[in-house]
Chain A
């Protein structure tokens, strides 16, 4: 059984980003970049399925310019078998990414496509669901546990009121939530080995996918800053302020 894992290169989760001076975009130049944390969880889960003897091959795919190869190599150091880069310089909306990934799936025929639930830059939370819709696959979003039994995926999902468990036939789409697993660190020998693993580069135009222009970002602003607060010295003072100044209790 093959697992396909789309991964995204994003600004590292611990970096606080700034809006550009001309309010057109978020400044990302010279910032530390990393695999989107949810994609890392997806890679880890796929590798664990392989270690459990359920998956036979883990293929990682990333869409973007040449630099995304760094994240593909990192994924291979974590245990993925091979990588695919879909080369493009365009900033694409999730629907376009889903269309490109559908074309990749048509070549790869993976039984499980394991997405992160959202990327921490766009915060869209769309691509996995859109890919599932386009390919007609069932989906299990926000997964906190994945079991594969008798050609079915049995997935526990994190929903607003608690947890929900669904079962679905393969091929299926799973999007990972935080608590699915704890991703491992890449060991130095594995990083060296990852350099020799196959990485195929495909130009986006060679996939024959028709992409549309869906939206324009008119401007990007910094969020409204909060007024500086005060430090209080005692519980008494805090209660007094909340009652008489803020009037919230």
Chain B
């Protein structure tokens, strides 16, 4: 039998998260197949062919799948589910939207945000905002799970899988109306090696310009705490935390962030954490490798200058 990985893509290109989810799939017994469901997603499917360990890429390409709606993508996965022991997706907004539907239609319990594959039926996942790690053994015949991308290293691109095209079309009652994507020249938050994040201490959206200067010096992505998002400083897709994005870069610089449980859940697996805060009691200093107690408006220009 085999393992099916639902590809994370935007039709035009394959996302790095897929290569990380394939790494989790490679730790399981069986051939790894990648399913690309989308519209004009040929390029994403071609990219998936080279992922190390993948033996087959299945492309399901139709206008009906353009917005990757949970309603019909889940049924498309269900159509081929009988061939697989495992069905995996990345724990992105798309994976989280689609996979529980697949799971319920198969009458199996989903395991969310897997960070470690212990054995063929046992997995580790964080609960309570990452304050506890649960080791869960699944008794279901089919294992359906989402994978936390930040916990796995992307596989290499040395594979050469065959490409198979399917043509089943399932219409959804849901209709796509519009989308509004945030434009950014900087690296994507979920795959960046360095992240500079601002919190309520930034004071305003305009002040994020100074963080962006620092980010550009470091080739970093810019993130934010929930407080900064709720205050309207920056858009919500920049939020790092339990309910935003979960990241684990080489270097995470938290500026004007107190370090609430919710925020720590999204970044405490970063390799090196730097905290800049004027409150010496801020909980962020308890997880920081390097802490600097200072006014961010004084030290940020200095830091930018020194780099």
Q: Judge whether B181 and A161 touch: CB under 8 Å.
A: yes
Task: Bin chain B's interface residue count.
Answer: 35 or more
The docked-state distance in angstroms from the alpha carbon of A233 to that of B181 is: 40
**B167 interfacial contact with A, CB 8 Å:** no
Chain A, residue nearest B97 (CB): A141
The docked-state distance in angstroms from the alpha carbon of A182 to that of B95 is: 27
A201 CB → nearest B CB, Å: 26
Q: Which of A125, A139, A230, A234 contacts B71 (CB 8 A)?
A: A139
Q: Judge whether B307 and A130 touch: CB under 8 Å.
A: no
Q: Which of A26, A96, A165 contacts B132 (CB 8 A)?
A: A26
Q: Is the interface of B mostly helix, strand, loop or mixed?
A: mixed
Report if A232-B226 is in contact (Cβ < 8 Å); known contacts: A158-B236, A159-B94, A248-B250.
no
Stretch at the interface among B21-29, B30-38, B39-47, B284-292: B284-292
The docked-state distance in angstroms from the alpha carbon of A26 to that of B99 is: 26
Interface size on A, residues (CB 8 A): 83
* Residues on B with beta carbons closer than 8 Å to the beta carbon of A16: 131, 261
**B160 interfacial contact with A, CB 8 Å:** no
Q: Judge whether B272 and A242 touch: CB under 8 Å.
A: yes
Chain B, residues 71-102, CB within 8 Å of chain A (1/0): the string is 10010000000000000000011101111111
Q: Judge whether B237 and A123 touch: CB under 8 Å.
A: no
- Inter-chain pairs besides A132-B101, A160-B190, A179-B236, 17 sampled, C-beta below 8 Å: A126-B100, A126-B103, A129-B100, A158-B93, A162-B180, A162-B235, A163-B179, A165-B177, A178-B226, A214-B109, A214-B140, A220-B135, A231-B291, A231-B292, A235-B292, A235-B306, A241-B290
A-B contact pairs, 14 of them (CB 8 A): A95-B109, A124-B110, A139-B70, A140-B174, A141-B93, A162-B237, A215-B140, A216-B137, A222-B133, A223-B268, A226-B268, A226-B273, A231-B293, A235-B302
Query: Residues on A close to B: CB < 8 A?
Result: 11, 13-14, 16-19, 26, 38, 93-96, 98, 117-118, 120-134, 138-142, 144, 154, 157-169, 177-179, 212-223, 226-227, 229-236, 238-239, 241-242, 246, 248-249
Q: Which A-B residue pairs are the 7 nearest by beta carbons? A: A214-B109, A129-B100, A130-B104, A133-B104, A133-B101, A126-B100, A162-B181
